[in-house]
Amino acid sequence: MMSGENNNNLYNDFPYKSYEEIQNDKKRNSKIRKGAVLFALLVVVIVGGALAVGVWFSGTPFGVFEGNLDLGIFNPTADKQQASDTSVNKNSGTKYTMPINDEPADEEMLVVSNDVTGVVKKAAPSVVGISTESYSNFMSVSSGSGIILSEDGYIVTNAHVISGGDSIAVTLEDGTVYAAYLIGSDEFTDIAVIKIDAEGLPAAEFGNSNDVKVGETAVAIGNPTGQLMGTVTCGIISAVSRNIMINNNMMELMQTDASINSGNSGGPLINKHGQVIGINSAKLSATGYEGIGFAIPINTVKPIVEELISKGYVSGRPVLGVSVREISQMASSFYDIPRGLYINSVMSSSDAKEQGLSQGDVITHIGDERIYDLSSAVAARNTLKAGETINIKVYRRGKTYSLSVVLSEQNLDNTAYNF
């Protein structure tokens, strides 16, 4: 090993400084930099002030710049002159004057402010309040609205308004209360018909919902909260055809911004002639959304009501006879199965059972259409009728099978099967 003396000789040519000397050098350099910055700022202030004074007294800085050179610097004399000139586009030299027009004297107005008092006077007597009660605790289960169909007491409302209760009470506009009984209910379209024993009732007038246009006046009358009978709200038709899933059935609904609240369900959506064009059924109530309500078009309601009154259910509607749930992308990856409709149970009396469908199968196709969700599957199924054959593909334990299944008819006994 080298001695200490020899080690020191290795660094004799290097001017090393002590720790204190290094710290002092840093402080000195910092002061020099700060001084330079302050000096530069002082020069800028002095020069800027001199330029401003020169511009103020001579119109140009110290009279140096003459002619047409535009520096964009404030010039009181020039600005006063420019303010009196007509505005000119400096790039094109084109003059522009914005025209202001008087109101047209003989032309039709494009926007009309409607007084809906006549509509309310005509339609309100046909609107009723509906409440259901449980026998177990004599508490109200739900409340909503309804529309008088006929003078002898038939009333249409939403299926969800009267479901789950043991008794149904109907309140007329004048406050008279009647006990009602169920004629028929169709949860797939959310339509129900009830009846009270009364005569000479003010039946509603129904309009053609196929003639409704976006932007038309829309009036809603109902029983919001179950305690504000006869409440009127007014808006417009926001859209005439929105595909909305109601109880696993894809429906085309009208959209309105007339306020639809809890308790308005089953009540009428009315046009400017006082005619019922739809039955208020749902609203978008998620946080951040307002004025988005939906009504079932009355032309859709008509055949359902007629079948409910004559049969108690809607005939001819197809069902495969299986209860299913959707497989998400995450579930598909986790369980290593394709996306589609996972079968939970199969109706014992269905052809689906005869063809061998069972719990755990995954429906992936209807015909040649790839199926990922229930709404598209229902839409494809509903192009057929009960008794017709539907072609499906089913995934089971790594293999895919093609099946032809005869569709059953939806009725009150198989409502537990959503596909």
- Specify the amino acid at residue 285: S
Give the Å distances, CA to CA, from 299 to 97, 122, 173, 252, 264. Answer: 52, 21, 25, 11, 20
Q: Kindly name the residue from 126, 143, 160, 209 that is annotated as catalytic.
A: 160
CA-based R_g, the chain, Å? 40
265 is an active site residue: yes
Stated as kind and residue range, the H or E segment containing 353 is helix 351-354
273 is an active site residue: no
Q: Would you tell me how many other CB atoms lie within 10 Å of the CB of residue 148?
A: 24
Cα separation, 366 vs 393, whole angstroms: 7
DSSP 140-209: EEEEEEEEE-STTSEEEE-HHHHTT-SEEEEE-TTS-EEEEEEEEEETTTTEEEEEES-SS--PPPB--G
Query: Can you read off the two tokens belonging to residue 276?
Result: 């019922």
Q: Kindly name the residue from 186, 190, 351, 361 that is annotated as catalytic.
A: 190
Q: Kindly name the residue from 145, 265, 281, 408 that is annotated as catalytic.
A: 265
44 SS3 class: helix
Please answer whether residues 245 and 375 qualify as being in contact, where contact means their C-beta atoms are separated by less than 8 angstroms: yes
Please answer whether residues 281 and 246 qualify as being in contact, where contact means their C-beta atoms are separated by less than 8 angstroms: yes
Hunting for tokens 């009470």 — which residue is that?
Answer: 169
365 is an active site residue: no
The residues carrying an active-site annotation are 160, 190, 265
